[in-house]
Amino acid sequence: MSIHKAALLAVACGVASAIELTVSSSGGNASSPLLYGFIFEDINHSGDGVLHGNLLQNNGFQGNSPNLTAWSAVGGAEIAQDSSNPLTDAITSTLSITGTSGTIGASNAGYVSIRVTPNEYANYFWVKGTYEGNITVSLVDSDDTVLGSTGVPVSSNSSAFSYYETSFSAVESTTGNSSWHFTFDAATATDGGLNLGLPQLFPPTFHNRKNGLNAEVAEVLDSAKGSFLRFPGGNNLEGTSVENRWTWNNTIGPVEDRPGRQGNWGYPTTDAIGLVEFLLWCQDMGLTPLLAVWDGLTVGGGTTTDDALQPFVNDALNELEYLMGDTSTTWGALRASHGYPDPFDIPYVEIGNEDFLNNGLETYQDRFNLFYDAFHQAYPNITIVASTSGLAETGCSGTECGIDISTGVLQDVHQYLPPKDLIAKFNFFDNVDRNAPILVGEYASTTFDNGSTTYFPTMAGSTAEAVYMIGMERNSDVVKMSCFAPILEHFDMAQWSPDAVGYDAANGVTRSTSWFVQQLFSANRGDTILPVESDSGFGPAYWVASSAGNTNFVKLANYGDASQTISINIDGKTTATLTQLSGGQEDSNTPGEENVQPVVTAIDGNGTFSFSLPAWSVSVLVAQ
């Protein structure tokens, strides 16, 4: 009797039988070194409000109808959005603060509130109006406690804006509800008030970059040891109209020269995380850039095609020259003038986003070819990614999609599904064309099985994602890259649920069960996927084994409500670390409460490691 049949018989007789796996010490397929990475677009205030360091909302009055969002008057002042005193051609309004006596000013509530922790806070702002004296910048708790403050000697006039930088250290907020205050003596402002231009407030930034990422958030992302970054979207690349698309050259240079735009997700974006900031982010986290360019498709605003598209192809070539050209080129010289003389490397470029939606398929073949030919001629080493795939579920087959996969083009697959449907996709990648490399550019368990909304990931959804990822990793000769989406949300300002990591002012970062799965899978990677012999079929337990040098990795998921016992034979290995994430089927972390966290144990084995897989669990065994 085969071991598989023995196991089936034991189950039929009601005897709980252990699953036995034997990991081969030879053979297998090379695993893509870029298998796990990130997609980032500004959705859920993930950029302005979470990942970007600046904590002040509506500082540049950008977007369609900024008005006084986030601003309040202090001390009897009158405040107004003032378009007659623009800071620059891009920042076309500043805040007018007027009043006749006493200390007056304005406060900014940030993105719902400002998170204040014991740290140094950098302040940047412009002032216009006659003034010789101190102004004060401070962080104030909702109970009026001043958490940090400093005076700034200002000597300004009414003919031009003057720029100031200062910093102060703050103590922790006790209310979780703080605001930034800018105050001055009304009597000293002899024009009757002052104009405040583009104020910015930064806590410590990742790698201490100016205009950098919020270190508290970026360090969490960095902990996953991802290997690529797909940017800048997502729908937010596409725009709701041609004019409203993500326009790369509006996102470069000093922030005061970036007009921002009304993003695709219902709020203004400042573009302070702009094209160069994405590349610096890649540098600082060791990520390979995957740049998506606008290809004529908008979300609900029509499609630009044929001759009308050619200027946008040229514009994308300019974008690539800005990033990769040397300083003798027009756009490379502009990059150098922005402080970056060394060219960046862009090995992957995606043409558009989700061209299988919004009637994109009708014209994608022609649009794709226009971009492909231009890019391939100018940069033959760039790998091009198609935003459609030839897989049946995207509604077209390879040639209908216009994608000539023989050229090495990657196809972008997106799968947002309820847990049971992700489980059904476990073997999806077993059956794809081995010569057609794939980017899984967005995926997640998005709802409960009954279709109701999952607000923050649950153990059932995260375990289903792990099963799907095991399916990808087993096929990581053809699945070259994958990224969960969306990665970040502001808990109080989100449009899309669920997301992997949440943030709010009171709690900072909260990691979801899905985040922990991403981190476990990405941070524990082999370079070779090893064959595994088993005495049981897949389900409810799933597994994949890999190795890197002398280290073996076995990833496992138990998508079921009964615990499973498992024995894993790995020849020659005696010690291992087992990391397990488990909880009830609907268990979910909540803001500030990471109740479900991975638990790490050391286990000994003499070539065999035996342990249990709890119900609804994800495990990683690392054997030395």
Using CB under 6 A, list all residues that contact ligand AHR: 41, 43, 233-235, 353-354, 442, 485-486, 496
**Vertex 222 angle, CA 269 and 347, to 5°:** 75
Closest approach of ligand AHR to the CB of residue 264, in Å: 7
Strand 575-582 with 131-141, pairing: unpaired
DSSP assignment letter at 408:
T
Nearer to ligand AHR, 354 or 504 (CB): 354
Closest approach of ligand AHR to the CB of residue 37, in Å: 14
Cα–Cα dist 473/89, whole Å: 49
Closest approach of ligand AHR to the CB of residue 277, in Å: 19
Closest approach of ligand AHR to the CB of residue 50, in Å: 15
Residue nearest to ligand AHR (CB): 234
Nearer to ligand AHR, 415 or 589 (CB): 415
Closest approach of ligand AHR to the CB of residue 372, in Å: 20
From the centroid of its chain, how far is CA 263? 16
Cα–Cα dist 606/411, whole Å: 43
Residue among 592, 599, 595 at smallest CA distance from 617: 599
Beta strand segments in 60-173, E: 71-74, 78-82, 94-98, 103-108, 119-128, 131-141, 146-156, 162-170
* C-alpha separations of 402 from 310, 370, 395, 474 in Å: 18, 12, 13, 28
Nearer to ligand AHR, 20 or 354 (CB): 354
Q: What are 378's two structure tokens?
A: 């100018």
Cα–Cα dist 414/436, whole Å: 16
Nearer to ligand AHR, 256 or 271 (CB): 271
Q: For residue 43, which amino acid is it?
A: I
SS3 of residue 336 by DSSP? helix
Q: Cβ neighbours of residue 538 under 8 Å, at least 6 residues apart?
A: 426
Q: What is the C-alpha end-to-end distance of the chain, expressed in Å?
A: 33
Nearer to ligand AHR, 235 or 388 (CB): 235
If one counts every other C-beta atom within 10 angstroms of the C-beta of residue 602, the result is 8
Closest approach of ligand AHR to the CB of residue 562, in Å: 34
Residue among 564, 563, 468, 480 at smallest CA distance from 518: 468
Nearer to ligand AHR, 360 or 486 (CB): 486
Closest approach of ligand AHR to the CB of residue 486, in Å: 5
Closest approach of ligand AHR to the CB of residue 243, in Å: 19
DSSP secondary structure, 259-319, as one string: --EE-TTSSEE---S-HHHHHHHHHHHTPEEEEEE--SB-SSS-B--HHHHHHHHHHHHHH
Q: What are 179's two structure tokens?
A: 């605001």
Closest approach of ligand AHR to the CB of residue 142, in Å: 33
Cα–Cα dist 55/109, whole Å: 9
- Phi, psi (rounded to 5 degrees) for 275: -55, -50
Structural contact between residues 473 and 544, judged by C-beta atoms closer than 8 angstroms: yes
Nearer to ligand AHR, 183 or 235 (CB): 235
Nearer to ligand AHR, 382 or 485 (CB): 485
SS3 breakdown of the chain: % helix, strand, coil, rounded to 5?
Answer: 20, 35, 45
Nearer to ligand AHR, 448 or 496 (CB): 496
Nearer to ligand AHR, 42 or 321 (CB): 42
Closest approach of ligand AHR to the CB of residue 450, in Å: 21
Closest approach of ligand AHR to the CB of residue 274, in Å: 18
Nearer to ligand AHR, 455 or 496 (CB): 496
